Amino acid sequence: MKHLLLVATIFLVACSGQLPKPECDPAETRDSVLRCNEAVNAAFRALPHSHPPITRIQFGYGSVTPWRGAIPYPSGDQPVYGYVVFTWGDGSRRQYVDLTVWRGALTVGTLTPYDR
């Protein structure tokens, strides 16, 4: 799986030019369930093939949509939320992809306007 992500990332870099280094959440540790590089690689898969050049990539923990934290989960079985924000070189509106890790499975959302 990691090899496939590496190949996909190299392909994206080759197709879209040099990508900026992702800005990672400082709360990340070695033991984090969702790591910055994993999140960014997964978010790339949600991008359309014809996206504008990327000038900034930011990863953060938590949820951009406040209601997501209100979903009840069994005690001790909480999901980990994260999001990746893309800033486009053409000046268009920033967009994000939300991610959730629950019970070991990573779910990747869709590209959505980022209003923060």
Q: What is the pLDDT along the chain (116 residues), one digit of tens a residue?
A: 555 444 444 444 445 578 999 999 999 999 999 999 999 999 999 999 999 999 999 999 998 877 655 666 676 778 899 999 999 999 999 999 999 999 899 999 999 999 87
**CA–CA distances in Å: residue 49 to residues 12, 67, 101:** 9, 30, 25
Domain parsing of the chain, residue ranges: 2-113
Question: Which tokens belong to 113?
Answer: 């306007």
The C-alpha atoms of residue 40 and residue 91 are separated, in whole angstroms, by: 21
